[in-house]
A and B are shown apart, each in its own frame.
Chain A
Amino acid sequence: KNEVEQSPQNLTAQEGEFITINCSYSVGISALHWLQQHPGGGIVSLFMLSSGKKKHGRLIATINIQEKHSSLHITASHPRDSAVYICAVRSQTSGSRLTFGEGTQLTVNP
């Protein structure tokens, strides 16, 4: 079992839909990151969370430390949101290194 698991692996949505990507982890963490990677592109850090909720534009990230679970929500999705979304955790025992989920491929159709 991977330390970080994401669901779904693939997600197709219509423009305007509300999207949720989930991340579960099995270790104690000091922080959780959500990253975005466009095809052939670099990696963009969207959020770093250690508790509660953060919002940036149409993106919302939440984390429940007790349940070891985080969600990334996209409101009013747009085709330009199509990308791979990666959850990564910094465990309490691993220093600053990140452990990555396998990513969720999101496709938003017009």
Chain B
Amino acid sequence: DARVTQTPRHKVTEMGQEVTMRCQPILGHNTVFWYRQTMMQGLELLAYFRNRAPLDDSGMPKDRFSAEMPDATLATLKIQPSEPRDSAVYFCASGLVLPLGRGYGYTFGSGTRLTVV
């Protein structure tokens, strides 16, 4: 089965450090999402891309977070500087979205569990 691959699976870092999370979407999927999950807020959309172009990053704190797709096989989410409140599980998902709202289900990666101390 095709998978969305996220690295690292776990990351512990000190406050103020830069954190980079990586995602390899499924080949052929045209849409890539970054979600964050916390106990308090549940799942929240941070950003998403269509054909590598950012479509919506309104859920992302712009001062410290950045999301990019340098190529079709890699999406990155960076936090600089990291803060304890960024501790969460970050999920990447990809999907094939077709015109007129059609498409298929999204495939989620296993997540990166980030702890900022």
Which residues of chain A have a CB within 8 Å of any CB of chain B?
A: 30-31, 33, 35, 41-45, 47-48, 50, 86, 88, 90, 92, 95-98, 100, 102-103
Kindly provide the distance from the CB of B44 to the nearest chain A CB, expressed in whole angstroms: 8
Tell me if A97 and B56 are in contact (CB < 8 A): yes
Judge whether B105 and A33 touch: CB under 8 Å: yes
Residue of B nearest to A98 (CB): B45
* Chain B residue contacts of A86, Cβ below 8 A: 43
Residue among B43, B93, B109, B110 with the highest chain A CB neighbour number at 10 A: B43
- Give the secondary structure class of B's interface: strand
Consensus secondary structure, chain A interface: strand
Are B43 and A31 in contact (CB-based, < 8 A)?
A: no
Q: How far is the CA of A35 from the CA of B109 in the complex (A)?
A: 13
Chain B residue at minimal CB-CB distance from A42: B110
B24 within 8 A of A: no
Considering only CB atoms, which chain B residue lies closest to A44 in the complex? B108
Q: Does B12 contact A (CB under 8 A)?
A: no
Query: Which residues of B pack against A, CB within 8 Å?
Result: 31, 33, 42-43, 45, 48, 50, 55-56, 91, 93, 95, 97, 101, 103-111
Q: Given A31-B101, A90-B101, A103-B42, are A42 and B31 also a contact pair (CB < 8 Å)?
A: no
The number of inter-chain residue pairs (CB within 8 angstroms) is 54
Q: Is the CB of B107 within 8 A of A45?
A: yes
Most buried by A among B48, B106, B111: B106
Q: Which of A35, A48, A92 sits near B104, CB closer than 8 Å? A: A48
On whether the beta carbons of A97 and B45 are closer than 8 Å, the reply is yes
Q: In the docked arrangement, what's the CA distance between A23 and B33, Å?
A: 23
- Structural contact, B43 and A95, CB atoms closer than 8 A: no
Contact (Cβ within 8 A) B91 A96: no
